[in-house]
Structure 1
Amino acid sequence: MKDDWKLVVLGGGTGLSVLLKGLKRYTSDLTAVVTVSDDGGSSGRLRTEMGVLPPGDIRNCLVALAETETLMDKVFQHRFKTMSSLNGHNLGNLILVAMAEITGDFITAIKEISKVLAVRGRVIPSTLEHVVLGAWMEDGNTVLGETAIRNYGGRIRKLFLVPDTCEPVPDTLEAIRKADAVILGPGSLYTSVLPNLLVKGIKEAIEESPGITFYVSNIMTEKGETDGYTAFDHVQVINEHLGRQIIDYVVANDGVIDEMRLKRYREENAVPVKIDKEKIEKLGIKVIQADLVSDDELAWHDPYKLARVIIDVLATIP
């Protein structure tokens, strides 16, 4: 089997790092394009107080792509629990910010830390501009800020970025145009996947790419973002935001989620995402169903099951 697939994965949050952990088994030509609209937690505090890009999702991806589970990986994921201003901050976030100050820019900082962690692949912010995620809600209101959107409680009509002319990192467009596959998700539809696609030039680069495009549907609906959404609804939202269809394959879970985990999700009014296979296929999109559930306490994707499904599809394409 080919071992030099050129893969580009776009997203943020936990979902992106989970997929990267699996894909690094199959290729080193792996590019993670990470959303930078996060304004919560340690990342949000550093963004507000120091005017830096939010480092959290980038840190998670770097650790996911690290060659081995080393002490340095644990160092980068260490979170302070102390009665001081450090409380809640992640050490890896602070190291990324410090390295950016030392080297003079964020891209160089990521490259230097990638060497320390022996990263297999590369991690790129979707833009170097300080963007704010905004949403027009179905009730007519406008909400600014990723955290505010999550907590608003209403249905989202459409997202936008401020500024809406933010430029991508050139390496991102080059990687997409040369990719054998571009993979969207898994991750929060509105706050992890779509923000990357709204950056100027990225959707056009995906269209121009000779490779195929996957969308990895979430296993569970997400409170405040996709309540009641099916996999078809997720795809429709992406199409509506882009004004075109770029997805070739939808990867969806059909594995069983045990009652104990379902009970936890019901407390957040979250349910398994229904696939709606026939409706998706009417759009000309192929649907790949598989048992993708991990053995973790939460109903997350198993990194190795998910990566295997994607690689198996690629192996069938001449």
Structure 2
Amino acid sequence: MKRLFNNTIVSSVDAFTLVALNLVATPILISHFGMAEYGVFVFLSIFSTYGLLSFFDLGMEGSLLNYVARFEAKGDHESIQDSLTLSLLYYGLIGLALGTTMYFAADFIIARFTDDTGELDRVRATMAARIVSFNVFIQFLTLPFNAVLQGLRRFVISKVTNTAVLIVQYVLVICVAIYTSRMDLAFVVILGATTLRLLVLGIMVRYRLPYFRPMRFRIRMDLLKTLFSYSSILLISRIIGIIFNQMDKFLIWLYLAASHMAIYDVVVRPANLVRMLVTTMNSAIIPEVARLHENDEIEQIRTLYVN
């Protein structure tokens, strides 16, 4: 219970840091980007593994959390390593497909925006959308490292890395907004921060965990089927999450002006705190329950549920 409590606290750090940084950055970005460009900034930001594109994860991240915890409980180090190898290939292909699609759809995405302020630079906005397409690919590659670290209950490594990179990212984005007022450069900063996060997580997994020394790359179809058997259950929650958390912004993009996206974002942002609380609890408890279940410690699971 003590470890679960500590992991829950640690896993909340990056979530609450993100909310706090958003609250600080929002008025600054609106002031320097303008209402229309900030609205585009908000919309392009949903093309991430935390937003709309979480659907294309197809529940695999939760499945990795579950099975990596079970493999650790059994002492099956080979399967832990194979899970990382397989998921890197899986997420790399998905990220490449989605990133390529977004790159070529950038003109269409920006053309759909109605600019009622006359302030939207569509050339820069299109460039920003193309930068986001590269960020999509890098983001998907970070998912396996985060999932494996959390499945092994190494929340400190995962969450501290994410928190540190988030702070650097937002400080630099705010500086870019103040000194250049260019949204496309802000997304260059975000791309750089995502790449830094991937490199740090990769180094941590490779050199700080005993399961990946030596590193071996192997594709196991039986393991892929096992992971998909669980991920398909989680897919429903992904669909529900998109409907309730992301479709509102799509409707604004289709029918309203870009400045309305900015106004809507400011109004609904406080509700993100509640959603973060639920996500935080789930990320810490899933690997703990999986480990207890693998060891047949049913009584401990009951105690965990009651508490």
TM-score calculated relative to the size of structure 2: 0.26
Please identify the structure whose Cα radius of gyration is greater. Answer: 2
Which structure has more strand as a fraction of its residues?
A: 1
